Amino acid sequence: MADATGALHHEFNGKTYKLRLTWGVLGALQGKHGDDFLHRLEAEDGKLPPFGLMIDIAAKALVKGEGISEAEALNLADDFLTSDPELVARLLAAAFPDAGGNGGATRKRKR
């Protein structure tokens, strides 16, 4: 479940964790994985998903949300994604809530 700050609350092994995919986290991911890192998450026929990138996204969001060490976050992110491969998609939806719909669509004003 996401909240108003764009944080995603994820339950794992009886504990709820907060993951935050902020602009700073996105910038760090972009610096490490390249400008097109989000496009590489799109499924292509016959190709495996970028597992390392997915784990890195979840881990960096965990570090930001929980304030834990990167090593601990990488370990948890691996476990999270092993049990729930759709976590990254939900994390991105929480970070960009209007991207899936027309929340930013403009309409013609009535006169």
* 32 part of a folded domain: yes
Cα–Cα distance between 102 and 10 in angstroms, integer?
26
Range of 46's domain?
Answer: 7-95
- The answer to whether residues 37 and 86 touch, using CB atoms and an 8 Å cutoff, is no
pTM of the entire structure? Answer: 0.82
* 103 part of a folded domain: no
Residue 46: the pLDDT is 80
Residue 44: the pLDDT is 80
* 106 part of a folded domain: no
* 100 part of a folded domain: no
* 50 part of a folded domain: yes
* 44 part of a folded domain: yes
* 53 part of a folded domain: yes
- Which one-letter DSSP state was computed for residue 93? H
Run of H or E including 90: helix 87-95
Angle CA 70–72–78, to nearest 5: 100
Count of domains observed in the chain: 1
Residue 100: the pLDDT is 53
Termini Cα distance of the chain? 40
Cα–Cα distance between 60 and 19 in angstroms, integer?
8
Per residue of the chain (111 residues), what is the pLDDT tens digit?
666 677 999 999 999 999 999 999 999 999 999 999 999 988 788 888 899 999 999 999 999 999 999 999 999 999 999 999 999 999 999 998 875 544 444 444 454
* 111 part of a folded domain: no
